[in-house]
Structure 1
C-alpha cells in the first residue's frame, strides 16, 4: 500500500544524519508541522491511514526511530532521552523550530522526553497508549494473576531485556511472532493487514532489526531514571492523553497528570494499535485538540 496525502500524492521520503544516526523519514502536506512518532514493533508505516487525514491542514513529519524501519541500525543510543534528541535535531534540520508532537507506544515515551527537554519547541503533545518506565511500565511486566487475566501482561519487556536470547529465538520466525504479537494487542485483529505485516517483517527481519528492537527495552531502567528526573518539572504545554478501552485505558491519563499541568483525555473503544484500528476517529481527536477544542 502506497502512503499518500489527502490528494493522493505519494509522501516524500528523506534521510538525515542527526545526533550520530542516519534517520529515514516521510513528509507530506502543508501548514504548521506535526511530528508523528511510532512505537514498537512498528515503523513509520503505522501512520499510513492517519497521514492523509492531517495533511489538509498540517505538514506531517514521520520518521522511523533509530534502529527501526529504514533508519540506521545503530549500535547504541536507545534510551529515550537520546532517541528524543534524534527527533529534536531532525526537526531542526528540516527547519521546524516549533511543532506539534504525537507519539504512540515507545514513540510516546520518546515524545515525553522530547517535550521535557524542549518545552519551548512543543506547541502541544499527544501522548498515546504507553506506560512510562518509572511510572508503572515495570509493574505491567510482573507475573501476577491480575496481569495475566487482564491480557495486558507485558511479559515481553523482561524477555527482550535478556541479552542475545530474543534475537536467537525470533530470527527466522518474524512473521509468526509479530503477527501473533500485534494482533493480540488489538481489539480488531483484522486491522493488522497483510501489507502492514509484510512491511514490519521486512524491516525487523533485516540484519540487526530484532537486535535494535531489543535494545530499546534493554534501556528501560535507564529510561525510568530519566523519566523520574524529568518529572520533577511538569510539562507546560497542553497534553492530550489518548488511551484505548481494551488495552492501557485510564492509566494513560493517570500518568500524564503526574508529569504535566494541562491534561485532557479520551479513551477510544479499541485496542492498542489505534492508528490502524480507528484512524478516522483518532485523527478527529487530534484535529480538535490542535484547534483548541475539548475532546468530544
Structure 2
C-alpha cells in the first residue's frame, strides 16, 4: 500500500511515504506536533483511490534529516525543492498544526508550485487570530518551548507524558490516537534531533511573524479545516486568511473531532478534501 521514499534535498535525506498512482493529481500532507507522517495513514488510504498521496516527515523528524533552520519559510523552501526533486508540479499541499504554518509559508513564497492548499487546525504566525491565540493561557507551551535550553533539560526522559498530555487535552476522540501510535510518536520525539527540531518550530515564531506579515493577494484556493469540538470560531480564521491575501479561502468543520482531525476522523478529513477539490 505505502511506498517509502528517501529523497536527497540539498544533500539531506527526506523521508516521504507515497500511495496511489503517480499519474493521478498529487496531494502532499504535512504533519504537526507531536506527530509524524503516520498521522495521515488512514487519510492516505482513502485519498489514494483518486490521488497520488505523499506524506512527509518534516525535516528533523523521523527519518528526515535536520536542516538546522526552523522558521517556516526555510522549511517551505526545503519542501519546494523536494516537490521539484520528485518531478511534481501544481500539488495540493495540506498541512496540520505546524504543517499548516508551513503550508501557509508555501502559499506566500512558492505559490507557483501549488494547485490548492489545505490548512488544518492551526493559527498562522502574524495572521489573525494569532495574537489572541498567543494570549490564551491554555497555549502555555508556546512560551515554554521558546525558552532556550530549559525545555530540553526538563522534557528529556518525559516525552511520553508530554505527548500524551497534548493528545488527551486537545483531542475529542482520544481513543483514535492508539497506544501504539502514542508509543511510536514518543519514540520519535525522544531523539535529541527531533526534540530540538520541534522546540525550534516554536522558537522561530517571532521570525515567522515577520516573514508572513506582508500582505499580497494569492490566487491559490485555500480550504481551512477545523474539528467541530475544537475551541475557537472558524470564521475568525477565515477572516484572518482573507485579510492576509488568501482571497479564495473557505472552511469546513470535521464532525466529532478536536485538534487531531486526521486521526480523530480520517474519513471526514478525506471526504472534506476530496469533495472540495472536485467541487472547485
TM-score bracket, normalised by the shorter chain, equals over 0.9
> Is 1:132 the counterpart of 2:118 in the alignment?
no
Partners of 1:275 and 1:249 lie apart in 2 by 19
TM norm structure 2: 0.93
The structure 2 residue matched to 1:27, chosen from 13, 18, 21, is 18
Would you tell me which structure has more helix in proportion to its own residues? 2
* Structure 1 residue 21 displacement after superposition: 3.4
User: In the alignment, does 2:148 pair up with 1:156?
Assistant: no
Residue of 227, 248, 253 corresponding to 1:244: 227
Q: 1:246 to 1:12 in 2, by over 3 A?
A: same
Q: Which runs of 5+ in 2 are unaligned?
A: none
Q: Which residue, out of 205, 209, 234, partners 2:217?
A: 234
Is 1:168 the counterpart of 2:161? The answer is no
Deviations 1:177-214 (A, max 9, x none): 11112221111111111121121111101232211110
Structure 1 segments unaligned to the other structure (5+ residues): 1-8
Aligned equivalent of 2:248 = 262
| Equivalence for 2:4 | 13
Cross-structure match for 2:30: 37
How far apart in 2 are the matches of 1:224 and 1:21? 27
Structure 2 partner of 1:87:
79
**Which TM-score applies when normalising by structure 1?**
0.88
2:183 maps to 198
Give per-residue Cα distances to partners, 1:233-275, cap 9 Å, x unaligned.
1221111111222324413323222221112211223200000
What pairs up with 1:43-122 in 2 under 5 angstroms?
43-74=36-67, 76-122=68-114
- 2:101 and 2:124 in contact (8 A); partners too: yes
Alignment partner, residue 197 of structure 2: 212
For the residues of structure 2 that align with 1:187 and 1:16, how far apart are their CA atoms? 35
| Residue pair 1:172, 1:205 contacting (<8 A) in 2 also | yes
Distance in 1, matches of 2:82 and 2:204, equals 22
The number of equivalent residue pairs is 273
